Structure 1
Amino acid sequence: MNAPLTPTLSLFSHLPPGERFHVHARAFSAPLEAVAARVPPGGRVAEVGCGHGLLSGLLALGDSRRHVHGVDPDPRKITWARKGPGTLPNVVFEVGGVESLAATQAGGFDTVVVCDVLYLLPLERWPGFLRDASRLLRPGGRLLVKEAEGDGSWKHRKCLAQEWVMVKWLGRTKAGGALVLQPRHAMEALLRDAGFHLRETVELGAGYSTPHILYVAEARAP
């Protein structure tokens, strides 16, 4: 595994075995380095739905000029995040979500990253979520949304089965009542409806058993 993911994983070395396994599984199953590569240098970055903070740590170690603010609704994961990447000087974590962060820090971020979060929410909540993400950004700020694409493939079906186990059986991930994968045209339309300019849609599923896809969008000036 290439740096900087390896030093990022070392931040979790003192966590209990079950938590370390979860973080390492995440590292190997998602294209986090490809996502991080599209985050502009420096600035304030919010990661919404940060979990254990693996991507937040990757972003913070990748550029010491960045200030990363991670939020997640699961207090248990935030506790582990604070004991891992939260020990870095340019990272802070808090329990919360996009709504709570937008209520206190509207316009406070240059970049917002959302990685495998929307699929856990009922579809009717996606537009409001994206509007709140827009509120977090300064004009011209960047939104990165990484999801699994609802393309009807075997990867699509495998992803839903895997997440059903993680959410419903093992309870490792909190869901808001749904496991939803959207086709790219639907997701692109949602981003435009939320006021974003879509810069690019990037397929990241090569080499993975999940149809990873990344949407890179820009907040329009009010």
Structure 2
Amino acid sequence: MSGLLEQALARYAGLPAGERFHVHARASSAPLLAVVSRLPPGTVADIGCGHGLLSALMALAVPERRVLGVDLDARKVRWAQQALAGLPNVTLSVGSVEQLAQAHPGTLDAVVVCDVLYLLPDDQWPGFLKAVRGLLRPGGRFLLKEVEGDGSWKHAKALAQEWVMVSLLGRTKASGGMVLKPRVDGVRLLRDAGFEVREVVGLGEGYTTPHLLYDAEAR
């Protein structure tokens, strides 16, 4: 485990066991450090921040960076606020990407969305991505980490796992989605929303989930 990840996880030591387990499981199952390594400095939004682990990693990696995390799940945001209270460069709140875009129109240097889109109905994806574009200054970076719909056994396993988390355990909130798209669809949607796709990177090696990262720039 990297030193940065250890620092971030240590901040959750005071949370109840169930919440700590969720955060540690997230740390071991998603390539969060690979996402953080691509971020520029400046002001960054973490949309769908959940317990705030990615926000913590971004803030600890570059102490001069300002991180704005929002999530619709008030319970998770409360735990995140408790865990990250000692990080002065992190602000966490209950809210949506649209609300954040109203408060910070066209001013952010980067936005990260990690494992959020597939929980939404796919007809909401274009509006969501356009709201993200509304947050960014021209040339601002957008890192979108999703699960690739590639028809593999990892694809099937990811859907089954999310069904357990959303429908059986109620640990994750969804809005009728759980849609996994192939990368060609992701690239098209990003371009339609006003982004230039710089790179599409498969991050599934070493994981049982087909992680995929879109590295894009606001036009």
In the superposition, the TM-score normalised over structure 2's length comes to 0.99
1:160 corresponding residue in structure 2:
159
Where does residue 32 of structure 1 map in the other structure?
Answer: 32
User: Pairwise mapping of residues 1-222 of structure 1 onto structure 2 (< 5 A)?
Assistant: 1-40=1-40, 42-220=41-219
Per-residue deviation, residues 177-212 of structure 1 (Å, max 9, x unmatched): 111000000000000000100000000000000000
Q: C-alpha separation between the residues in 2 aligned to 1:91 and 1:181?
A: 30
Write the distance in 2 (CA, Å) between the matches of 1:100 and 1:164: 28
- Runs of 4+ in structure 1 deviating by more than 4 angstroms, as ranges, are none
Amino acid at match of 1:90: N
- Structure 2 segments unaligned to the other structure (5+ residues): none
Structure-1 separation of matches of 2:139 and 2:206: 33
In structure 1, the residue corresponding to 2:144 is in which secondary structure? Answer: strand
Q: Structure 2: how far apart are the matches of 1:20 and 1:157?
A: 27
Q: For residue 88 of structure 2, what is the amino acid of its counterpart?
A: P
SS at match of 1:126: helix
TM-aligned CA deviation for residue 103 of structure 1: 1.4
SS of residue matched to 1:141: strand
The alpha carbon displacement at 1:35 in A equals: 0.5
Q: Which runs of 5+ in 1 are unaligned?
A: none
Counterpart of 1:18, as a letter, is: G
Distance in structure 1 (CA, Å) of the matches to 2:74 and 2:165: 17
SS in 2 for 1:106: coil
The one-letter amino acid paired with 2:206 is: G
Shift of 1:107: 1.2
Preserved CA contact (<8 Å) 1:86 1:93:
no
Q: Deviations over 1:151-195 (max 9, x none)?
A: 000000000000000000100000011110000000000000001
8 Å contact from structure 1 (residues 150, 181) kept in 2? yes
Amino acid in the other structure paired with 2:28:
F
The DSSP-based 3-state class of the residue aligned with 1:87 is coil
Q: Please give the alpha-carbon distance, in whole angstroms, between the structure 2 residues aligned to 1:108 and 1:94.
A: 18
CA RMSD in angstroms comes to: 0.6
Query: What's the TM-score once normalised by structure 1's chain length?
Result: 0.98
User: Is the CA contact (8 Å cut-off) linking 1:53 and 1:70 kept in structure 2?
Assistant: yes
The residue identity in structure 2 corresponding to 1:32 is L
The whole-number CA distance in structure 1 between the counterparts of 2:61 and 2:177 is: 34
- Tell me if the contact between 1:86 and 1:92 (Cα under 8 Å) persists in the aligned partners: no
Q: What is the SS of the residue equivalent to 1:176?
A: coil
Tell me, in whole angstroms, the C-alpha distance in 1 between the residues paired with 2:7 and 2:138: 33
Report the secondary structure of 2:59's partner residue: helix
Taking every aligned residue pair, what percent have the same amino acid on both sides?
Answer: 62
1:97 Cα deviation from its structure 2 partner: 1.2
Equivalent position amino acid for 1:140 in 2 = G
